[in-house]
Amino acid sequence: MPRTHDRRGEPPRLARVTAHNGLRKMSLHKRRQPVNVLLERITTGVLASLFVMFSAQQVPGAAASNITDAGSSNSATPIPLVVTNNCHETIWPGIGTQNGIGPGTGGFALEPTFSMQMYVSPNWQGRIWGRTNCSFNSDGTGPSNLNGVNGNGAACLTGDCFGRLDCEFTGQVPTTLAEFNLIGGMDGKQTFYDISLVDGYNLPLAIVYIPAKNTTWIPPNLTNCACIASSGYLGEPSRMGFAYTNVSFPMPYESAQTNFGVANWCPWDLQEYPPSKPGNGIYPYPDDNIQRPVFDPCLSACASTNNPADCCTGVFNDPGVCRPSLYSEQAKAVCPDAYSYAFDDQTSTFIIPTGGGWQVVFCPDGRSTNILETFGPELRSLAAGGRVTDEILSRVTNRTYIETHPPPSSAGPLQPPMGILAVSVLLTAGRMLMGGRF
């Protein structure tokens, strides 16, 4: 993704890069569920007959705000699931179903500005991720050529599903994940969801709640989280904004990061496709003074090493023992509301009453959200009591509170080395001279 100095410049684009290495072993992150949930299976035949009425539809410009009748907590009501491509190139979303009835597809192509409207069962548990730079054969059963896009048979540069368009398993790491458990909690009356970077990061992503008729009272600045860790996609630094919310409920943002600084958050050795030589011979080592790829997917420490200490497995399967890695700390700095490692539950899991639908937006507007750190007590109260009290409503509409909580971090933004800064300025100027294209 080419970098731009702000959102007013030419939109960033997914760039094809030449892969120098093959597919790494797939790493499925395993972590403790916040609550040990026994998922009750709903009769497949009954729900399947309902889903016949709702076929997947790809429509231009669909958004959560114009998807009506989002359903309720009624166990027989299909739940809307909308996937939107706000990027400036085609992506290929992948969908994995772990429980319940999925949308009837495991993947599809999605052009810029388009959305795919689907439905899942009320007990659905699954994940959604984006695939990039894909090239499939005519029936979608493999890559368009024998060697694939990376020389090892993959049809997609990131998020590949064993070369298939219709995913049957999870995607190849690194991927940014949207994860859902629609019937969580001890009584099945809560929805658990999160943005996960536990296996790595490839695309900016937001999760937007589509209220049901009986949940329109839930403030959008408590539910609509976003992770934007790609240069060129960040809005101007601010403690709050109004992407995927409204003027009554300002969204708390991570405010320290800049487009220049966020380009370098991924630890050097965890880049999936690092540059093969230092800045075309211009910039010397150390590595951080080398121009990074414009599209720079990042492996997590666990996905890269499979080390128990990084993956919180074996003797490290204990929150008191397993500690966040450098990757986790950097990921949390750019995306405060995202899972960064296996025991990151308290600052990464969203829990709201069951009911309503969901929209997953790739390359969302705005900035990374900071909802859980700003409104943690309010969200816990909502999850426990199932209602918004007057005290919660007063807090989430208070702009002064949002602008001052939490206190600004002493760490500050991730600063790019001077060499990178100079290259970014030159690249931006070059794109302007070439009509805005990289």
Q: Which two tokens stand for residue 365?
A: 């507007």
Give a yes or no: residue 37 inside a domain. no
The answer to whether residue 22 scores a pLDDT higher than 60 is: no
Give a yes or no: residue 29 inside a domain. no
Give a yes or no: residue 4 inside a domain. no
Please give the backbone phi and psi of residue 131, each rounded to the nearest 5 degrees, phi first: -110, 145
Residue 297 near residue 200, CB atoms below 8 Å:
yes
Between the two ends of the chain, the Cα-to-Cα distance in Å is 10
Give a yes or no: residue 26 inside a domain. no
* Residues of the domain holding 130: 44-433
Q: Which residue has the higher pLDDT, 272 or 57?
A: 272
The answer to whether residue 346 scores a pLDDT higher than 50 is: yes
Asked whether the whole model's pTM tops 0.85, one would answer no
DSSP annotation of 284 = P
Q: Which residues pair with 94 in a beta bridge?
A: 107, 129
Q: Which residues pair with 192 in a beta bridge?
A: 181, 351
Instruction: Tell me how far apart the alpha carbons of residues 51 and 68 are, in angstroms, rounded to a whole number.
Output: 17
Residue 94 burial (CB count, 10 A):
30
Query: What sections of 16-150 are H helices per DSSP?
Result: 44-51
Mean pLDDT calculated for residue range 76-101: 95
Question: Where residue 427 falls among pLDDT bands split at 50, 70, 90?
Answer: very low
The answer to whether residue 175 scores a pLDDT higher than 90 is: yes
Give a yes or no: residue 349 inside a domain. yes
Give a yes or no: residue 35 inside a domain. no
409 CA to centre of own chain: 23
Give a yes or no: residue 19 inside a domain. no
Number of domains in the chain: 1
Cα torsion angle, 314, 315, 318, 320, sign: negative
Please report, to the nearest 10 degrees, the dihedral formed by the alpha carbons of residues 9, 15, 20, 21 taken in order.
110
Instruction: Tell me how far apart the alpha carbons of residues 32 and 343 are, in angstroms, rounded to a whole number.
Output: 7
pLDDT in tens, 268-309: 999 999 877 554 555 444 555 677 877 899 999 999 999 999
pLDDT of 295: 83
Mean pLDDT calculated for residue range 54-62: 63
pLDDT of 61: 64
pLDDT of 16: 39
Q: Which residue has the higher pLDDT, 54 or 82?
A: 82
pLDDT of 349: 96
Residue 84 near residue 65, CB atoms below 8 Å:
no
Mean pLDDT lowest for which of 93-97, 105-109, 277-281?
Answer: 277-281
Q: Which residues pair with 164 in a beta bridge?
A: none
User: What is the CATH classification number for the domain harbouring 173?
Assistant: 2.60.110.10
